[in-house]
Chains A and B, each alone.
Chain A
Amino acid sequence: MKRAFPILAVFTALLLGYAFYEAMWVAPMERTMGDVQRIFYYHVPSAWTAFLLFFVNLVASVIYLIRRNEKADALAVVSAEVGVVFCTVVLVTGPIWARPVWGIWWTWDIRLTTTLVLWLIYVSYLVLRRFSDSSQTPKLAAVLAIFGALDVPLVYFSIWFFRTQHPQPVIGGGGSIDPRMLHVLLLNWLAFSCFALLICWARYRLERLQREADELESLESLRGVVQ
């Protein structure tokens, strides 16, 4: 298992490089938007990866609440942290694209707002984890993750009532896309997913080691008290 990590690292690096080349030079230029559109190959894969990670966080939180499994909690921390990073990328690349194309940085559109609220919820999740230092933090954090998951559909509906400005979703939204662009997009998504997996893996190992070290330290200090 440990040997697989460097292999995945090299594979991810190669894939990211290749996907970058494809996105910058091979993918056809968009007729009306020009080169600015190429940010789409980073914006959309980051969004998909972030949503996937938040979903992993929810599943891990539910498993933790039912089974009280230490590994599930470590996975929940890791997926929330990496998910917030990818979600930040989405929220930063969006306005960079929107300014030249829509003429505005931001609009209270359904997908933008839902993503922003999701980001806020997960930042508050990380703040809770940071501020709470008892051994019960995992339980509280798992409860908050469930509340966040319940909140997202309500946010979606509340904004759905307004007119929406964001381009239709690429897959399943009825929008049409050049097959070459779709190819590059999927390639980038694969690269981003591998990248996310790589970071999560490293962070997960770190988290587990950190907990082991903490445990040893408290055992050590207890032993000191006994002697």
Chain B
Amino acid sequence: MSSLRAITLATLTKDIRLEWRSRDAINSMLFFSLLVVVVFSFSFDPNAEESREIAGGLIWVAFLFAAVVALNQTWARELRNQVLDAYRVSPSPANGLFLAKALGNFILVSLLEAVMAPLFIIFYNLRALGPAWQLIPVALLGTWALVVNGTFFAAMSLRTRSREIMLPLLLFPISIPAVQSMVEATRILLAGDGSARFWIVLLLTYDVVFTTACLALFETVLQAE
């Protein structure tokens, strides 16, 4: 157990330090989601009432696309210089590596959301009519739902031709219930009609189910070569 934590922490700090020095992923994600926001804003041009209805969908689709940009980079660093092969032959638990990568992506995407959310509020003149604090658990659970499966499928698509396109093809179908929950919960909270509890519980279930599945099956995927 302690070695799992040590591996996770070591890999996570290494990844964060690398990202902090280069800022490759976060910069491209930020610019990408900014572009999505602007393009959506041009194409829909909604009034305040409409934006409450559609903003949930726009925000999450923008974050989903931006997350794919980061997720595709997850393992690329480890492929260079055969780092992944070294991981395979080392006796360290594979799940430590997976958790570190998933947490790294989680931090990255959360950061992106924290920066982009105010921009969305400004561009779409949003003012929540429901209990806005509930958007925080929705965002945290939703982001974890995207990155845990995303990290896993990114590892899976390492073995395929044209892997950059493979990740969304695998990730999007499986993420449909999670995306729907995030979008619906956000819409309900912004428009203030009813309770978002069902969707938050569904997101939580999704997170628990797929985190378990990822941890149970990651070893198999890592060893597949």
CB within 8 Å of B: which residues of A? 65, 117, 120-121, 123-124, 127-128, 131-134, 136-137, 139-140, 143-144, 146-148, 150-151, 154-155, 157-159, 161
Contact = CB atoms under 8 A, between A and B. Distances in A.
A144 B224 contact: no
Nearest to A119: B173
A146 B173 contact: no
A66 B222 CA distance: 16
B209 interface: yes
Given A124-B169, A146-B217, A150-B210, A131 B180 contact: no
24 contacts: A65-B220, A117-B173, A121-B173, A127-B166, A128-B160, A128-B169, A131-B160, A131-B162, A132-B159, A134-B224, A136-B224, A136-B225, A139-B220, A139-B221, A139-B224, A140-B159, A140-B221, A143-B156, A144-B156, A144-B170, A148-B173, A148-B174, A155-B176, A155-B177
Interface residues of B, number: 31
Given A132-B160, A136-B159, A140-B156, A158 B210 contact: no
A121 B221 CA distance: 19
Nearest to B152: A147
A124 B170 contact: yes
Nearest to B209: A150
Contacts of A146: 213, 217
Given A128-B166, A132-B160, A151 B217 contact: no
B51 interface: no
Contact of B224 (A140, A148, A159): A140
Contacts of B160: 128, 131-132
B213 A147 contact: yes
Given A131-B166, A140-B221, A147-B210, A154 B159 contact: no
Interface string B183-225: 0000000000000001100100110011001000100110011
B220 A143 contact: yes
Contacts of A131: 160-162, 166
Contacts of A151: 173-174, 176-177
Interface SS of chain B: helix
A140 B180 CA distance: 26
A137 B161 CA distance: 12
A154 B213 CA distance: 14
B34 to A, nearest CB: 29
Nearest to A118: B173
Given A131-B161, A133-B161, A157-B202, A117 B225 contact: no
A144 B173 CA distance: 11
